[in-house]
Amino acid sequence: MDDEEGVRFGLRDFLEGRGYEVDEADSCVSAVERAGHARPDLALLDYRLPDGTALDLLPRLHDACGAVPVIVLTAHGSIDLAVRAMKEGAEQFLTKPVELPALLVVIERALENARNRQRQLERSRRDRETPNPFAGASGAMRVLEEQARRVARSDSPVLILGETGSGKGVLARWIHATSARTDETLVDLNCAALGGELLDSELFGHRKGAFTGAQSDKPGLLEVAHRGSVFLDEIGDLALPVQGKLLKVLEEQRFRRIGDVHDRRVDVRLIAATHRDLAGLVREQRFRQDLLFRINTLPLRVPPLRERREDVAGLVRQLGKRLAADLGRGAVTLAPDAERALEAYHWPGNVRELRNVLERALLLSDAPVLRRADLHFDAPAEAPSPPVDAAQSLTLREAERAHIARALERAGGKVEAAAHALGISRSALYEKIKALHLRRS
């Protein structure tokens, strides 16, 4: 970014010749606006601008597009100014005139540093958040684990089959974390959540002006996942035109943004999941047969919970420990009648439903031991609902509201004491009180 058009032109011409996409701005205001739309990988700023300086712009730029690396150029450099710029978050501070090849080296180093930081953050987040997708002692899960370990070492597309709530997403994240691409990005997209045109734009990106509302160039998730993995959940809901474009990516590692005339190369591994019968969708001409052949090389089937009832106890221990910690509760155990009820239930919603049942029980009961009466199972949508008492009919939001209201009541309306009892920060409790429309007594 520079207020002199000639300087911007020279830099743009040089960088585009090296394969970079360049966006321009001539003021602090326009830079913040452009950054918010384009989400750049790096910002190159002139120190003096018509409406401020790079030091004024740096915090606003980070607010607009996150921790983007910034290189500041100035014709009047000083050690004091350089120190101030670095304290404000600049990656480098260079004095003009700067040799363009030397600037290119600095840019490449800054981008690599940013990638390394992102990899470290991804690794730390994954270590904290990725649960074990093979929890349980059943033979079915041991077979799945053996197959998944073989699949993770490959770079071929993976298709994960299983009912809703069975843990397909957890397995997909484990495969990426265990693969050779673990240090790169995993991006995920639920194909059932977006319409065809919007899904196309999210996956492949678009050029400015490609359609109404396309006010700037937008990279797609495929570009974001370059050298990493893309997880497409519910791939059976992918629109037919998008299926053809995805097949081209898998076969040629090339794609084209909406409104673009040039192909782009990308290196990604596809991990797909669905609860649908893809072969049946092929017969109905709603899914491409050639795409099914391409993604069905390494299929993995996650068994439903009713087929591995011996795993329920282990899952309850794993999920219960995590949920209790999230809710600020101490260790919680199950009474024998509760264990028998959990193992006997048919779990139409699988592991997701099990988690919901445990979370609801922990919200509604303060007891250290959960009993059968504390468990309120989710009734199938197609079955008539049996008579239930008021507590059993609560939604998770209503149960959370009731739990927080009780904590506030016990604390005499003192937010700090209630927050301590709930195991959350005071500010987090204030947000909950506001969101749930609670009143302090």
pLDDT digits (tens, 9 = 90+) for 118-166: 777 666 655 555 678 898 889 999 999 999 999 999 999 999 999 999 9
Residue 394 pLDDT more than 80? Answer: no
Strands (E), 311-399: 333-334, 369-370
- Tell me which range, 192-206, 267-281, 326-340, is most confidently predicted by mean pLDDT: 267-281
Q: What is the pLDDT of residue 125?
A: 59
* pLDDT digits 0-9 by tens, 79-118: 778 788 888 778 888 888 788 898 899 999 888 888 877 7
Asked, for residue 127, whether it belongs to a domain, the answer is no
Among 285, 303, 321, where does a domain finish?
303
Q: 46 is in which domain, residue-wise?
A: 5-120
How many domains, the chain? 3
Q: Are residues 158 and 292 in the same domain?
A: yes
Q: What is the pLDDT of residue 390?
A: 42
Q: Are residues 87 and 227 in the same domain?
A: no
Instruction: Name the average pLDDT for the chain.
Output: 84
pLDDT band, very low/low/confident/very high, at 441 (cuts 50, 70, 90): low
Q: Are residues 116 and 226 in the same domain?
A: no
- Overall average pLDDT of the 408-422 stretch: 75
Q: What is the CATH number of the domain that holds 80?
A: 3.40.50.2300
Asked, for residue 70, whether it belongs to a domain, the answer is yes
Asked, for residue 125, whether it belongs to a domain, the answer is no
Q: Are residues 347 and 417 in the same domain?
A: yes
Q: Are residues 40 and 91 in the same domain?
A: yes
Q: Are residues 299 and 320 in the same domain?
A: no
Q: What is the CATH number of the domain that holds 406?
A: 1.10.8.60
Among 303, 338, 366, where does a domain finish?
303
Q: Are residues 168 and 115 in the same domain?
A: no
Q: Between 89 and 70, whose confidence is greater?
A: 70
pLDDT band, very low/low/confident/very high, at 380 (cuts 50, 70, 90): very low
C-alpha 243 chain-centroid distance: 22
- Overall average pLDDT of the 391-400 stretch: 62
Among 276, 303, 330, where does a domain finish?
303
Asked, for residue 441, whether it belongs to a domain, the answer is no
Q: Are residues 57 and 108 in the same domain?
A: yes
For tokens 């995590």, name the residue: 322
Q: Between 305 and 54, whose confidence is greater?
A: 305
Q: What proportion of the chain, given as a percentage, has pLDDT over 90?
A: 37
Q: Are residues 316 and 294 in the same domain?
A: no
Q: Are residues 335 and 411 in the same domain?
A: yes
Asked, for residue 126, whether it belongs to a domain, the answer is no
Q: Are residues 297 and 383 in the same domain?
A: no
Q: Are residues 421 and 373 in the same domain?
A: yes
